[in-house]
Every structure is written in structure tokens, then in C-alpha cells.
Amino acid sequence: MTSRERLLKTLRHETPDRVPIDLGGNQTGIHKNAYHNLIAHLGIREEVRILDAVQQLAVPGEAVLERLRVDTRYVRAGAPASWKGGIVQMQRDGKLWHDLTDEFGIRWSMPDDTPYYMDISLHPLANATLADVKDFPWPKGDDPSRFAGLRERALQLKQETPYAVVTGISGVVYEICWYMRGLEQWFCDLLTQPEFCEAMLEQTLKFWLDWFRLFLDEVGDLVDVIMIGDDIAGQNGPLFNPQLYHRLVKPRHKRLVQYLRSRTNARIWYHTCGACSDFIPDLLDNGIHILNPVQTSARNMNPADLKRRFGGELAFWGGGCDAQRVLSRGTPAEVAASVRENVEALKPGGGYVFNNVHNIQGEVPPENILALFDTAYESGFYD
């Protein structure tokens, strides 16, 4: 089977020749440090490019993707031509910082002496009122310059390669709100100012509906999987009261997913970390097809249980290895054992795409990365 045939078959909950393998997304990627070490270990010479400045993820090169037998290739829209963003160096608190201010006015910062990730150092609506939300200069999702050359790139992947065509992350309706407000203040808002939260959520939803209108005009007929997501769960359960999700967040999630399904046959992939099993019925009701990253170490996220409860309706994408303990700190043999156990639990009857649980972090040794993907390939074949 070709990679595209393999992935589409498994997402129809049919049995392909083997479990498809993914790497290279914003939520299923690889940190630049781990990637540097991997290509050095493999003897591959290439310039390491940054895919995601905030998470410091690398763009995997074709030689690595082929070595790891990856079945997906990514196509992404860009920033609008009017955005003059970029990383600038600033002195603050006696330290040198690398700052990036995004389209929403959120400033992300990384210390020069520990350049691992960026964290938010400025929430532009931290002290805002409801009137300020309405007056804020929200970015235009339907700026055509975002999508320049997008169709050509997607066509090249569709017509000239055997790989499944998947998108970068988008549709971040909920999380952008707390990025702009601050997490603690946002949680207080959910309880004390629901009308403020609704105004924020309506603005972010409008941005993404406008964005997807043009995106789908360009490539709705070409992409195989559309990736959206918002973290709504933590290690032990929901991050906030599920009743608030049902009242404030879910209606916006559902509007977005249903709009996507009205415009494309692509499968809708949804990302939330954590112990999200309580939300899965809601996510299915919203209309998603795929759950990522399947955080197997979180509460009530046992792979066999998830497959038994939801495997008839929901495809799982990720869940390959315990990323919190085994992948970063275990031996290659321990990584392989974790992979075999999870693959055997999730692969029956299709409906499973292999990757790590979320991004491969910077300290993961190359031997463990190779054990991760080689074991997935070897144990992923169907009889």
C-alpha cells in the first residue's frame, strides 16, 4: 500500500497492511536538540530549520522521514504579509531574552542561557474590560496573503508523492483566550465573568472560521487530515468544570468542526493533552474523527480501555510510548517494550496512527528515538 492508502484505510477503521507512522507536526514533532543528536547519530548532514519557535521544534528532513518510515507529509499556511513578526533580543531582569510577539499581541520569550522553549511573558488583554475586547485590533483570519502558494505546495505532495497530506495545527479557539488573558485570570473569568469569556471565544472562533474559509477554498479538496486542537485536560482530569465546557466552549468547538465537515472530506483531528476521556463523548458529538496525542500516562487513559470504549468511532493518533518516564529516561529495550504494548492495544481493526505521546523532547537520546520508530514499524504489521 502507499502511505496515503495506508492512512486513509486506517482512518476508515479498516485494516491496512501496517499501522501508519507520523512525525513532523506541531503537536507530534521533535525538539531541535533531539533532532540535532538524531541526525548526528545517523550521519545525516543537513541544516536544522525551526518549525515552531515557541516549542523549538525542528522541521524533519526527508532523509530522516524516510529512515523512520513516516507516512505523512505536512502542508501549512503562513503568516500574513502585513505581520512584521520575528525574534528580537531584549535585556530584561539582568538577562538576555529572545522575544516573539505574535499576531494576537502575545509575547513569547526564551532565555538565552537556557534556550529550550518560549513561555508567555506578556498577555495583551490581562487587564481588559469587555469593551476592550470589542475594541482590540484582532488579526484578520481571511487575509489572502496567508495562503499564497498553499495550493501549489499541496498539489505537489498530492500528485508527486505517495504520502498522506496533513495540515499544521489550527483552530485553536479556546487556548488563545487564556494566552491573551493569563491562565489564572482566565480561570477566574470562567467563574465570574462568563460574558467576557463568551466575547473572547466569539472573537477567536470568528478568526478561525474566516481563516478556514480561505484555507478550504485553496486545499479543502487536497488535504487528507485537518489538525485542530485546544488543551482542555490535565494529568488527572479536566482543567476546568465540564459544565463550563458544555456551556461556553463546546458550542464554539462544534460550530468550527461542523463547518469543516461541511466544506471538506478530510478527517478532523483534535488535540488535547491529559486525562481527556471524560470529554471524548463531547468531542465525538462535535464531529471529530481522530484524537491526539493519547496521553497514556494520564488518569483513565489506558490504551486498551480507550480502544474498547471508543475504538469503533474514534481513531487514535499518538500514544506510542510513555513520554514522561520511559522515552526520555528508559533504555531502548524499555522503549521498545512500551511501544509494543501500546501498538498491540490500539491497532486492532485499524483506527490507529503511530507517534509518540506529543513532541519528542530535547533530552531524548537518538537510540531511544530509533527504538520508538523501528519497533512501531516491526510491531505494526497486521496478519
Is position 307 within any domain? Answer: yes
Is position 94 within any domain? Answer: no
On whether the CB atoms of residues 283 and 200 are closer than 8 A, the answer is no
pTM, full prediction: 0.97
CA dist 334 and 307 (Å) reads 23
Is position 113 within any domain? Answer: no
Q: Could you list the pLDDT tens digit for every one of the 383 residues in the chain?
A: 999 999 999 999 999 999 999 999 999 999 999 999 999 999 999 999 999 999 999 999 999 999 999 999 999 999 999 998 889 999 998 999 999 999 999 999 999 999 999 999 999 999 999 999 999 999 999 999 999 999 999 999 999 999 999 999 999 999 999 999 999 999 999 999 999 999 999 999 999 999 999 999 999 999 999 999 999 999 999 999 999 999 999 999 999 999 999 999 999 999 999 999 999 999 999 999 999 999 999 999 999 999 999 999 999 999 999 999 999 999 999 999 999 999 999 999 999 999 999 999 999 999 999 999 999 999 999 98
Hey, what amino acid is at 191? L
CA dist 268 and 265 (Å) reads 9
Is position 24 within any domain? Answer: yes
On whether the CB atoms of residues 78 and 141 are closer than 8 A, the answer is no
Q: Strand, coil or helix: what is 236?
A: coil
Range of the domain at 282: 3-81+124-379
Is position 90 within any domain? Answer: no
Is position 311 within any domain? Answer: yes
How many domains would you assign to the chain?
1
Is position 301 within any domain? Answer: yes
Q: What CATH number should be reported for the domain holding residue 36? A: 3.20.20.210
Question: E strands along the chain, which residues?
Answer: 50-52, 57-58, 72-75, 88-92, 95-101, 107-111, 119-122, 164-170, 225-229, 233-234, 237-238, 267-271, 290-292, 315-319, 352-355
Is position 354 within any domain? Answer: yes
